[in-house]
Amino acid sequence: MRLTYHSFTYFMPTTLVIGAGMAGLTAARELTKQGHTVTVLDKGRGVGGRMATRRIDRSRIDHGAQSFTAQSPFFQSLVEELLTEGVAGIAPISSQGDVPLHYIGHNGMSAIAKYMAQSLHVITGERVIKIDKRTGTSDNGWRVMNESGTTYEADNLLITIPAPQALTLLQDSDIGPDEVKIAALESIQYSPCITVMVVLGDQSYMKEKECMQFNLGPIATITDNHQKGISPDQTSITIQAGPEFSQTHFDDDLITVGHALIDLVPQLIPAADILTYQVHRWRYSMADVRYPEPFLAANTPAPLLFGGDGFGSGNIEGAFLSGLAMAKAVNS
């Protein structure tokens, strides 16, 4: 974008961000504050990625990330903002023994992403299929195309989707192997997760103020969303399978897999109390092997950066720090 004031011209840098999870939204917010014109593209129906909340009947159910901690001063500053604005709260799990302080979205984890995106230009339902270097102009930059054929152009490009999806995008794009460290992206490994969302007609049998239990055989976590505080009108339970079970049964029939997981905890979820349930697959649930730095920069004339929770320390805080580092690198 070009603005002319009297005898001089001021160029506002433009940036495209692919992925509207924590990393992408953080980078977009920071760059917007620094005067960039930023567009965020995401293939999903909403923002947040695995900070996901679903409505079923009268229940509100977190079916991705359940909570998060804050260790770094930069992320603690965002958390303080979220607490002040009433977007986040302290999770009941924080009162259990030696568990460090955990935070949750006040109305579900997706509320945090929606808050961060409210002042941004975010376009959802846009799956990018190709990246090209911008040609026919004296300026370096990028052109990306989505499935419908719509194109977007910018000076800078930040890719925050999971590394396997980024690699697929690179295969179909005008980016050479000498420009991107493909091996570095290939080294990032994720575990899948199968999540079951169960709506109950009565209260759950989880102990009072014990909204989350861990490591119940093939089940990694089981969470009572009512006791957690995000589903006041109806009790609902989130079951998240462990990596081994999820990998083994990832392509199985969803109803069968969901029923099998529910059957593992009859003492917590009596069959007679179940009103309905839904199952969701997360192919890239958690980055087990991450790139050690908060982002990866390509060797291209115009800035091209890769980041997300597969970089640095991982999880929600790591994704935030990745987005922050990318924004700083682009703006330096």
Q: Residue 133's domain is classified under what CATH number?
A: 3.50.50.60
Residues 38, 171 share a domain: yes
Statement to judge: residues 131 and 163 lie in one domain: yes
Is the pLDDT at 5 greater than 90, yes or no?
no
Q: Does the pLDDT of residue 96 top 60, yes or no?
A: no
Answer yes or no: do 280 and 315 share one domain: no
Give the pair of three-digit tokens for residue 278.
Answer: 């839904």
Is residue 169 located within the same domain as residue 282? no
Alpha helix positions (H), the chain: 22-33, 73-84, 110-117, 163-171, 182-186, 225-228, 243-249, 254-263, 315-331
Say if 151 falls within a structural domain. Answer: yes
Q: What is the reported pLDDT for 3? A: 45
> In this structure, are 31 and 133 located in the same domain?
yes
Whether 297 and 291 have beta carbons less than 8 Å apart is answered as: no
Asked if 324 and 312 touch (Cβ cutoff 8 Å), the reply is: no
Instruction: Give strand pairing partners of 9.
Output: 4
Q: pLDDT band for position 260 (50/70/90)?
A: very high
Asked if residue 145 has pLDDT above 50, the reply is yes
Q: Is 277 within a domain?
A: yes
Model confidence band, residue 65 (pLDDT cutoffs 50, 70, 90): very high
**pLDDT for residue 78:** 98
Helical H segments across 172-314, by residue range: 182-186, 225-228, 243-249, 254-263
CA dihedral of 229, 234, 240, 241, whole degrees rounded to 10: 150
Same domain, 245 and 181: no
Q: What is the domain extent for residue 269?
A: 190-287
Residues 295 and 282 in one domain: no
Query: What is the rounded average pLDDT of the residues 124-141?
Result: 85
Calculate the dihedral angle through the C-alpha atoms of 215, 221, 222, 226, rounding to the nearest 10 degrees: 140
pLDDT at 327 over 90: yes
The residues with which 40 forms a beta bridge, in sequence order, are 17, 122
- How many domains is the chain built from? 2
Let me know whether 230 and 245 are in one domain: yes
Per the model's pLDDT, the better-predicted residue between 87 and 96 turns out to be 87
| Residue 27 and residue 138 share a domain | yes
- Computed over every residue of the chain, the mean pLDDT equals 92
In angstroms, rounded to a whole number, what is the distance separating the alpha carbons of residues 110 and 121? 17
Kindly give the pairing relationship between strand 103-105 and strand 88-90: antiparallel
Question: Tens of pLDDT along 286-313?
Answer: 999 999 999 999 999 999 999 999 999 9
* Contact present, 325 and 292 (Cβ < 8 Å): no
